[in-house]
A = this chain, B = another copy of it.
Amino acid sequence: MSVFKTILYPTDFSDLAEVAKNYVLKLKEANAEKVIILHVIHPMEFSLPQFDDPFALDVAAIYAHIPEIEKAILDRHQEKLQQLKHEFERAGFKVETVMTVGDPKEEIVKTSEEKNCNLIVIGYHGKGLLERILEIGSTAKAVIRKAKCPVLVVKKEERE
């Protein structure tokens, strides 16, 4: 059994997630088999009416309640997930896409367990006082702390 049978690749479609994506693609040579592409929607990103627990909503419920202009954003996210799916498929991976609603770090850890992932690959800024003050990278840190499976941290300054 491949040590990288199922890799979880969480993406917020940022430049840093792109760095992590390129690394996951390289893991094909390391006999990686399947990638689960996860995008987590934070309910606060959208203009939702008042809900007791917006984190309990699913993607369809969010879609049903947001204004048209934000539906276009969500549609674009779905498209980006599909583009990523095709990119990984072309590289020879089996691919599953998952879109969930919630707190990114919690959803990443939960998905890694539900899908029996062998590895989570995440990008990390690392240096920079500003980033440390703004707590960029706190999702990465929380995932490292909470995940049961190994976590591969890819740096933006990564050496090729």
> Which positions in A face B, CB cutoff 8 Å?
2-4, 23, 26-27, 29-32, 116, 118, 124, 126-127, 141, 144-155, 157-159
Contacts and interface: CB of A to CB of B under 8 A. Distances in A.
Given A3-B26, A3-B27, A147 B152 contact: no
A127 B146 CA distance: 7
Contacts of A155: 147-151
A148 B157 contact: yes
A29 B29 CA distance: 10
B159 A145 contact: no
A34 to B, nearest CB: 14
Given A3-B29, A3-B30, 13 more contacts: A23-B150, A27-B30, A30-B30, A30-B32, A144-B153, A148-B159, A149-B155, A150-B152, A150-B153, A150-B155, A151-B153, A151-B155, A152-B153
B150 A154 contact: yes
Contacts of A124: 144
Given A2-B29, A3-B30, A30-B3, A149 B144 contact: no
5 contacts: A2-B29, A30-B30, A144-B144, A148-B158, A150-B155
